[in-house]
Amino acid sequence: MSSFTWRSALRICVLLLVSSLILVPLAATILGGFKTDGELRAEPFGLPEVWRTQFYGEILIDPQFWRYLWNSLVISLLTVALTLILGSMAAYAFAQATFFGSRFLFSYLLLGLMFPFAAAIMPLFLTVRDLGILDTPWGVILPQVAFGLAFSIMFFRTFFKQMPPELFEAARVDGCGYIRFYFYFTLPLSTPILATIAVFVFVQSWNNYLLPLIMLNDRAGYTWTLGAMDYRGEYISSWNRTLAFMTMTLTPAVVFFIAAQKYIVAGLTGGSVKG
Amino acid sequence: MTLVSTQSTVGSAKRRRKGFDLSSQTTMLLIFLPPAILLFTVFVMLPMAEAAFFSPYKWSGYGPAPWAFNEATGKSFGTWTGGANFERMFGHSAFQTALSNTFKVISVSLLVQLPLALMLALMIYRKSYANTVFRLIFFVPYILAEVATGLIWSFVFDGNFGLSRVITDTFELQKAFFPLAEKQWAFNTILAVIVWKYFGFHMMIYIAGLQSIPKDLIEAARIDGARPLQIIFFVKLPMLWPAITISIFYSVLGALQVFDLVMPMTAGGPSNSSHTLVSYLYNFGFIRLNVGYGSAVGVFLFAVGVIFAFVYRNTVQREAAR
């Protein structure tokens, strides 16, 4: 920036305005957990008079809170693991081999990108019920993996196709088969794309609400999104507890996501660059 | 079995026998493909197909299928009603509201959110420290869970506590104002939160697009005497068109799926004025265990999504790719 101009002043003003629209509600959420309800009513956005840690403390020692987080973590990690394994294997098959019907199968899987996942929610619920995995983590994990597959296979395949074919030919001459090549060369060389997909799938699973809402009935198995709604219902008249709860669940997520930001953005923009 | 004997001879891959050979392409395909395809079929495609088959029935979900014979009652589990579910759906005022709300989401996304995202992307796409910080801040709402976002904003719009309280206090109004409980305000409030939540996502797509525009192109335009606004409209925007088509696609498909935000903010109320298609499906299909009806709404949602995706891919995006 060379010198002061009205243009750049206007630009800074707009940027600061938008930033404050984002940061003020978030700050109010964090600060709200330190306030009493009376204070929250009188001054929702200001600093608290006294920093009360009691509401945060109550949540921290609540075993149910930790169970919510644990459930979400288990579901998210298993979803990520399964999506990476199944997605990369299928994508490897599509990238390495052209066989009868391979194009058809690939387009079949890509259909998953086309329609809103909620459209099939009622029969999906019945399928999960008939498989006997309702109210278990698998009732959430397996549909999540299935819906994430289309997206991840598309990304993996593009990435695998860009690997130099000479590598495979050389390995083949040395007696390395297709499956060994996948484990010893393809996967180790794909860590950037594996990380991107992993972070992306993790975010979606961690934040998912509709699927757990439908599949999980027992409070012991609730994910944190269900727990947050429950908590809100329980303390309907005291926002400070809900805000403290939100802060406690959002902070680790936001820290993780900011650390993994690079991968999230790569996942978002990968599709648009590829076209 | 044969594997052991052939491998013990060591040597080149060519010598290996056909049949169950762990290194062959066929074996790889047989091991690598079926799990993904099976999972996708069972949890994505079959349920969608079933929705189509369930939609002409009135069925509570009890029993294996609505057309299966129930020996206890001597009838089938569900009742065939033909197109009654669809008729009821299109005639239901709450569904019409949900549909028009979904269109509102689409128009607000396209007319407010995307231009806003584009404007901000143009402001901060260059690499600098301050720009990185702004980018990070603008991206935070996208990362927050919808449920958390909804809860935070229902606090902000709570007439006894948040922003609306501040407004009523400053103007010394006597009555507390609850925008989420007012029919004409509830969904507009949700629309505002949708813009707040997702503009960062689109901004990131545009930033990636803007950064991939060759610098000499812009430089050349500048040397030819183009003014900044002219550069934006005649160089940057045309170059950005592929990215814009992608973000329009995500906007529309995302608008069809809005649900998580609605539940904590209004849960579809007051008097069903703020439903979206998915929250309508949840409320009138799932909650009431009306499998046939929920499936009918699902089929409608599917049709809208697929028709849009198909038409869009074959017109706008094909143009953009050229």
State both tokens at B317.
Answer: 């995006």
Question: In this model, does residue A274 exceed pLDDT 50?
Answer: no
Do B208 and A269 make contact, defined as CB atoms within 8 angstroms?
A: yes
How far apart CA B259 and CA B283 sit, in angstroms, is 11
Between A151 and A237, whose confidence is greater? A151
Q: Does domain B86-146+178-321 have CATH number 3.40.50.620?
A: no
Sign of the four-CA dihedral A29, A35, A38, A43: negative
State both tokens at A116.
Answer: 């809103």
Name the class of domain A62-274: mainly alpha
How far apart CA B21 and CA B10 sit, in angstroms, is 14
Do A275 and B321 make contact, defined as CB atoms within 8 angstroms?
A: yes
How far apart CA A69 and CA A206 sit, in angstroms, is 9
pLDDT tens, position by position, A106-158? 989 888 888 788 888 989 999 999 999 999 999 999 999 999 898 899 889 98
Nearest CA in chain A to B312: A114
Nearest CA in chain B to A236: B155
* Shortest alpha-carbon distance between residue A3 and chain B (Å): 16
pLDDT for res B20: 58
Window 298-317 of B, Cβ < 8 Å to A? 298-299, 301-302, 305-306, 309-310, 317
pLDDT for res B15: 45
Please give the helix or strand (H or E) that residue B79 lies within, else none.
strand B79-80
Nearest CA in chain B to A267: B205
A101 touches chain B (CB under 8 A): no
- Of the pLDDT bands very low, low, confident and very high (cuts 50, 70, 90), residue A269 is low
Sign of the four-CA dihedral B70, B73, B76, B79: negative
pLDDT for res B195: 95
- Of the pLDDT bands very low, low, confident and very high (cuts 50, 70, 90), residue A3 is low
Do A250 and B310 make contact, defined as CB atoms within 8 angstroms?
A: no
pLDDT for res A196: 85
CB < 8 Å to A7, chain B: 228
Nearest CA in chain A to B292: A122
Question: In this model, does residue A77 exceed pLDDT 90?
Answer: yes
CB < 8 Å to A268, chain B: 201, 204-205, 208
Closest CA to A54 of A191, A241, A275: A241
State both tokens at A151.
Answer: 């997206």
How far apart CA B311 and CA B314 sit, in angstroms, is 5
pLDDT for res A272: 43
Long-range CB contacts for residues B283-287, cutoff 8 Å, separation at least 24: B284/B92, B284/B94, B284/B95, B285/A121, B285/A122, B286/A121, B286/A122, B286/A125, B286/A214
Phi/psi at B268 (nearest 5 deg)? 95, -15
Do B281 and A121 make contact, defined as CB atoms within 8 angstroms?
A: yes
The domain locations on chain A are 6-54, 62-274
Which of B146, B196, B201 lies at the smallest CB-CB distance from A21? B196
Do A149 and B36 make contact, defined as CB atoms within 8 angstroms?
A: yes
Question: In this model, does residue A242 exceed pLDDT 90?
Answer: no
pLDDT for res B14: 44
Q: Lowest-pLDDT range, A200-214, A254-268, B232-246?
A: A254-268
- Of the pLDDT bands very low, low, confident and very high (cuts 50, 70, 90), residue A238 is confident
Do B155 and A29 make contact, defined as CB atoms within 8 angstroms?
A: yes
CB < 8 Å to B247, chain A: 272
Q: What is the ipTM of this complex?
A: 0.87
pLDDT for res B190: 92
Window 61-80 of A, Cβ < 8 Å to B? none
For chain A, give me the number of helices (H) and strands (E)?
A: 15, 0
Q: Mean pLDDT in each 10-residue stretch from start to end of chain B (322 residues)?
A: 41 47 79 92 91 87 80 80 87 92 94 94 88 89 90 84 74 73 84 93 90 87 86 87 89 91 87 90 90 92 91 81 64
